[in-house]
A and B are shown apart, each in its own frame.
Chain A
Amino acid sequence: MNQNNLNKNILLYNKSKPPNLLIILTLAIALLCITPALYLLFRSFEIAGVSFLSIILTKNVFLVFFRTVSIIFLVSIVSCIVAVFSAWVVEKTDIPFKKFLTLGLILPLVIPSFILATTVVELYSPKGQLQKFLSIFGVDRLPEIYGLPGATFVLVIMTYPYVFLIVRGALRRLDPQLLEASRSLGYGSIKTFFFITVPLLRPAIASGTLLVALYTLSDYGGMALLRYNTFTVNIMTLYDASINRSLPSILSLLLVFFALFFIFIEYFTRGKGVFHRSTSGSEKISKPLETGIFKWPLVIILFLIILLSLITPVGVLFYWLIRGLINGNDLLPLLNPILNSLYVAFLASFFTVLTALPIAIFITRYKHKLNNFIEFASYIGFGLPGIVVALSLVFLSINLFLPLYQSMWLLIFSYIVLFIPASIGSIRASVLQVNPRLEDAAYSLGKTPIIVVLRVTLPLIMPGILSGGIIVFLLTLKELPATLILSPIGYDTLSTTIWGAATEAFFTRTGGASLILILIAGFPMAFMTLKTTRYNIQK
């Protein structure tokens, strides 16, 4: 279908007025999404201004701030280099095993940071497995892994796949004729890469980097296990100690401002991203670059990345599991957490998609004065660390809705706030692909609006809804801080079980539960990667 026509159609539609029911519905959802952030702000005003300043101006807060900024900086740079390089190699060159390598580069996405962190400690600590192996060569102690080096390593592994996906998508939409034009004007392939490809990818790289920054800012499990004291870790420690409730909420507010800063940057770079996307049209197949003698070295580099980020962590988990099974531990206690995880992840996906759907339709189909607010409100969870949402909801429920405290619904609510941006992204993409003329045609054939939605719109955007649901499912399985704080007492999920076992160094149970989590999350992920090429994964 002609892209220009499609855009023209959508423009035409932007002028029509959305149904009142849709406005009310989206407004209600948007307000719900913004509640945790608002409540936090409201509470911080309650605490007197003087103590506020005296808290945030301490040396400790300053140190935490410095640590947080430096790891965000480091992880962003390393992640981007790894991701852009590997995405370019698998998309644009003639190396073999592309499908296999791509899958291997994406799959680390399903491993939560706290699982990665436990395996990193096992492997690379001063007396870890790597040292045992290297002792053959006379190495009897490796440098310290706790702190910045270990935390950076874990965060890079867990964030580069997101950038990889975004950049790969952008590379696919890149018009190969631009590259051919560059070559015809006398630029070699390396020069073309730096002068044409990279500048054109800049919006994609920018949004990838911001994703990495937000993820690093909000990560709790990996940072805590590797004893790197960022804002998030600090807040959790203070909350656990529960001496003073206002201190964690003030720090949370700081964290929100930090995140808002990133959201705004993301919001503005996304404008450029639209330009980038509109050039898509049909995907043209470009001739892959011939790499000659570099072919196998490139394959080996990519394989090494996969080895470090996927194969060795999973290997360690297997090692623990087998060692545990030999020692007579059984896996039966894991049955309950598995069922709980599946149940809660299913509920979260269902309700998140249900709430994301009207918002996605509203912001893609109509130009309304509320658009900016609704987009911002639904997007806010993208920048809110899980721990902030969880704490706000705890205080909110204790003070205003006590029956909700410690209930499953509060947990689901937090997942909706956190993951609605990701599912909106994927549904929105599929709504954009549906020509509004199709709905017009259905109306003109005498069908009522409900029939049109059920028989035309929904079937056509189903792929987007499904992938949106799968993304939420995956993110819910991996989520740690909100789950730790909000899940009802005695309600263990896979991630809280792993966390409990890892912090108490019960490695067998960690191994088993982690492998199961990776399997549950990995299958839909692998399926989606192999089946579809375009979907938006965020956070």
Chain B
Amino acid sequence: MKLILNKLKKLSKASERKLKSEMSSDETGVIHLDSVSHFYPNDKFPTIENLNLLVKHGEFISILGESGAGKTTTLRMIAGFEKVSSGYLRIGGQLVGSNFLHAPPNHRNLGVVFQDYALFPHMTVYKNIEFGMDSKMVDKTDKINSILSMVGMHGYENKYVHELSGGQQQRVAIARAVAINPIALLLDEPFSNLDRILARELRKDIKKIVTNTETTTILVTHDREEALAISDRVAVVSNRKILQIDSPDYIYNNPSTPEVASLVGPCDFIDGEYKNNTVLTSFGKFSAKPLQKIDDHQKVKVLIRPSDIYISNEGGENFSNTVTSREYRGEYDEYEIISEKGEVIHSRINNFENITIDSKVQIKLNKNRSVIVYKN
């Protein structure tokens, strides 16, 4: 017992020392989750299972998933608020969490930004930012002022938290996290309490700040648009596991499973028969891209992205697909089309054709696009 305690003390001291110094060897990564699992003592299922993730220096990674997928727990575990139940969590190459070791959050030097801001209501903006900084720092006021200008909150230092709007509070929260020169920034749904326009604006600003300062960042979000827009890589999480980690455009165009596909964008799935890079469906024949080897004449699941689908009614009555609804969405119209077999897909196109409900249409893929097919 005593031995373990001593070991723990030594390790956490060592980790602290090392973490403070600049650590960024690319092989180990800034943050490394090595088959990490987490479970609460009395729960049947783990909250996270066998997670592997390597975050490189200066990288912006999003963890995307629906609520309950375990993404917030992952972040809280990296921050040190939850203990690692099995596996190894390393920060800056140093082990900080495993089933025998837990470095407390105050020894990890990570900047955490919370969904509900978590600004101290009894302190001013200035005091909030100063809170985590080294008290012996010489030019502290200058540093705070420059951080405040960076997040666009210059001149607000003497305001109290309740005097600020939601967006302003989140800017201060970011300033507070950045002020401690963190090894990495952890953002837990930072935009979800803000309205869309404000969120987009703040998102761009954050991206600019972390790019300029080369800050390694992990963002947890349920908003796919947000994750795709801001990240270098996206980790899609579902059901306590990471399903795929890749760059936004790769993951959108090559989702490894149907589940990933539906998490990163709107989609429909229909049945088809594969043959030599084409697939035959009830809507017609499309050029197809299998992600693994598929034999000819095999039954497959076909992923249809509404933005890839183009419809036309030129040529008259002999098409077998029927338009069942049409919604005006501003930049595009969304059509719902039903095949003879009763399968449903959607199409997003600009309304030049003025296709009405109940008209028979032909389905085509947009130029240079192909559909993804999965083994059934």
Contacts and interface: CB of A to CB of B under 8 A. Distances in A.
Interface string B221-238: 000000000000000000
B62 to A, nearest CB: 20
Nearest to B47: A15
B115 interface: yes
Contacts of B45: none
Given A446-B106, A460-B122, A441 B114 contact: yes
A434 to B, nearest CB: 9
Contacts of A446: 106-107, 109, 132, 180
A236 to B, nearest CB: 47
A448 interface: yes
B160 interface: no
A449 B115 CA distance: 22
Nearest to A444: B112
A378 to B, nearest CB: 25
B121 interface: yes
Contacts of A447: 106, 131-132
A440 interface: yes
Interface in B298-329: none
A2 B193 contact: yes
Which among B41, B106, B108, B112 has the greatest number of chain A C-beta atoms within 10 A?
B106
Nearest to B121: A460
B81 interface: yes
Interface string A436-453: 011011111111110000
Given A445-B180, A446-B180, A440 B116 contact: no
A435 B116 contact: yes
Nearest to A437: B118
Q: Secondary structure at chain A's binding surface: helix, strand, loop or mixed?
A: helix
A1 to B, nearest CB: 6
Contacts of A440: 76, 79, 81, 105, 112, 114, 118
A438 B81 contact: no
B269 interface: no
Contacts of B120: 438, 441-442, 456, 460
Name which of B111, B120, B177 has the most chain A CB atoms within 10 A of its CB.
B120
State the main secondary structure of chain B at its contact with A: loop
A445 B104 CA distance: 11
Given A445-B176, A447-B106, A460-B121, A2 B79 contact: no
A188 interface: no
Interface in A435-486: 435, 437-438, 440-449, 455-456, 459-460
Interface centre among B76, B105, B112 (most CB of A within 10 A): B105
Contacts of A449: 106
Nearest to A9: B116
B80 A445 contact: no
Nearest to A462: B122
Contacts of A5: 115-116, 193
B118 A441 contact: yes
A462 B122 CA distance: 11
Interface in A195-234: none
B116 A444 contact: no
Interface string A420-445: 00000000000000010110111111
A444 B40 contact: no
A447 to B, nearest CB: 5
A5 B117 CA distance: 11
Nearest to A442: B131
A402 to B, nearest CB: 42
Given A2-B193, A437-B114, A444 B106 contact: yes
Contacts of A438: 118-121
B219 to A, nearest CB: 16
Interface in A1-51: 1-2, 5-6, 9, 15, 17
B18 to A, nearest CB: 15
Interface string B40-51: 110000000000
Interface in B74-101: 76, 79-81
A441 B113 CA distance: 8
Given A2-B193, A440-B81, A445 B131 contact: yes
Contacts of B114: 437, 440-441
A440 B76 CA distance: 9
A443 B116 contact: no
A446 B119 CA distance: 15
Contacts of B81: 440, 443
B36 interface: no
A37 to B, nearest CB: 32
Nearest to B72: A12
Interface in B169-187: 176-177, 180
Given A1-B116, A2-B193, A437-B118, A444 B131 contact: no
Interface in B116-130: 116, 118-122
A460 B123 CA distance: 10
Contacts of B131: 442, 445, 447, 455
Nearest to A13: B81
Interface in A156-171: none
Contacts of B288: none
B110 interface: yes
Contact of B118 (A2, A435, A448): A435
A444 B79 contact: yes
Nearest to B111: A444
Contact of A2 (B76, B108, B116, B119): B116
A276 B104 CA distance: 38
Contacts of A437: 114, 116, 118
Contacts of B41: 15, 17
A2 B104 CA distance: 28
A428 B80 CA distance: 27
A25 B4 CA distance: 26
Nearest to A456: B120
Interface string B59-80: 0000000000000000010011
Contacts of A443: 80-81, 104-106
A445 B116 contact: no
Contacts of B104: 443
A9 to B, nearest CB: 8
Nearest to A434: B121
A486 to B, nearest CB: 39
Contacts of A435: 116, 118
Contacts of B80: 443-444
B256 to A, nearest CB: 31
A444 B105 contact: yes
Given A440-B105, A447-B106, 8 more contacts: A6-B116, A15-B40, A438-B121, A441-B176, A442-B132, A443-B81, A443-B105, A456-B120
9 contacts: A6-B116, A17-B41, A438-B118, A440-B81, A440-B105, A440-B112, A444-B177, A445-B177, A460-B122
The 3 closest A-B pairs by CB, nearest first: A445-B132, A443-B105, A437-B118
Interface of B: 40-41, 76, 79-81, 104-112, 114-116, 118-122, 131-132, 176-177, 180, 193
